Structure formats: structure tokens, C-alpha cells
């Protein structure tokens, strides 16, 4: 059975490859096979091969495919960041476009805060052990 109406699934065509449909949760459907559409298994390192309108081919991370389908173009040099830090969560609302500098600064801040929290928690554990 060929599925022809994807409107109920809220799928969007990828603007650069009309054989790729993207769901809001980041799942990707390929229409390249004429008899049966195929869902890609999406993980943190999944890449998708796109066939562009000019006939050229390009490989893009699944998160980029979802971002472009729902949020628009990625500015050259920018990166797509997962807000919840879960690279398997490619829901379009979990993806944000940042400059490389913003992305680096964000991860520096998170890393420093993580180390601070870790030190505080280890100190509490040590204090509890002394109290026993």
C-alpha cells in the first residue's frame, strides 16, 4: 500500500529533497522506494543521504534534516544544538541554531556548572559519611 496523504501525521517535506518527509518528533520517512515508504531508525549519530534538486548528493545529520524541515535554513557555519542534551531527541522544538561561538560558550558554562554541582554533592556525601 502506498501512503499518499501524510497530512494527519503532520509530516513536512524536506525543502531540498522531496523524497524525504520529516515528522515533528524527528522521525524521517523516505519515499524513494515506490512500493513501500521506509522509516529511518534515528539515533544520536544518524545521517541521511539527500538527493538535491540539482542531482547532487549530500549527507546530513538527522537533527539538521528535522531542523530545516520545521524551522528553516541553517546559516552556514552555525550548528544545531539539542536543548536537553539528548542527541537522540530530534523533536523540532528541542533543536536550536547557534553560532559556533555561542555553542562553545554554552558547553563551557554547562561544564563548569556540572563540575561545581559535582563537587558540592561529593562534599555532602563526605559530610554524611562523617556523621555516621
Q: What is the CATH number of the domain that holds 30?
A: 3.90.75.20
Give 55-105 as a DSSP string. S-EEEEEHHHHHHHHHH-PPPTT-EEEETTS-TT---GGGEEEE-HHHHHH
43-93 per-position pLDDT tens digit? 888 999 998 888 899 999 999 999 999 999 999 999 999 999 999 999 999
Instruction: Pick 5 or 36 by higher pLDDT.
Output: 36
Quote the percentage of the chain above a pLDDT of 70.
92
Domain span at residue 14 reads 7-98
- The answer to whether residue 44 sits within a structural domain is yes
3 has a pLDDT exceeding 70: no
- Using CA atoms, how far residue 102 sits from 36, 54, 77, 84, in Å, is 42, 33, 12, 16
Has residue 126 been placed in a domain? no
What pTM was estimated for this model as a whole? 0.76
Helix (H) or strand (E) segment spanning residue 35:
none
In a domain, 104, yes or no: no
Does the residue 91 lie in any domain? Answer: yes
Residues 31-40: contacts with CB within 8 Å, 24+ apart?
34/2, 35/2, 36/1, 36/2, 37/2, 37/3
Structural domain contains residue 109:
no
Considering its fold, how many domains does the chain have in total?
A: 1
| Residue 132 confidence (pLDDT) | 64
In a domain, 120, yes or no: no
In the DSSP assignment, the letter for residue 36 is S
pLDDT of residue 124: 87
Residue whose C-alpha cell reads 522506494 in the numeric block: 33
Residue 107 forms part of a structural domain: no
Domain assignment present for residue 47? The answer is yes
Amino acid at each position: 500500500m502506498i501512503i499518499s496523504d501524510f497530512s494527519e501525521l503532520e509530516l513536512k517535506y524536506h525543502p531540498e529533497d522531496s523524497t524525504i518527509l520529516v515528522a515533528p518528533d524527528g522521525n524521517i520517512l523516505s519515499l524513494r522506494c515506490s512500493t513501500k515508504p521506509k522509516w529511518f531508525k534515528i539515533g544520536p549519530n544518524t545521517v541521511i543521504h539527500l538527493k538535491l534538486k540539482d542531482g547532487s548528493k549530500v549527507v546530513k545529520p538527522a537533527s539538521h534534516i528535522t531542523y530545516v524541515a520545521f524551522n528553516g535554513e541553517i546559516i552556514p557555519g552555525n550548528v544545531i544544538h539539542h536543548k536537553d542534551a539528548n542527541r537522540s531527541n530530534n523533536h523540532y522544538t528541542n533543536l536550536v541554531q547557534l553560532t559556533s561561538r555561542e555553542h562553545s560558550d554554552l558547553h563551557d558554562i554547562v561544564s563548569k556548572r556540572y563540575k561545581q554541582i559535582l563537587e558540592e554533592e561529593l562534599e555532602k556525601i563526605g559530610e554524611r559519611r562523617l556523621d555516621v
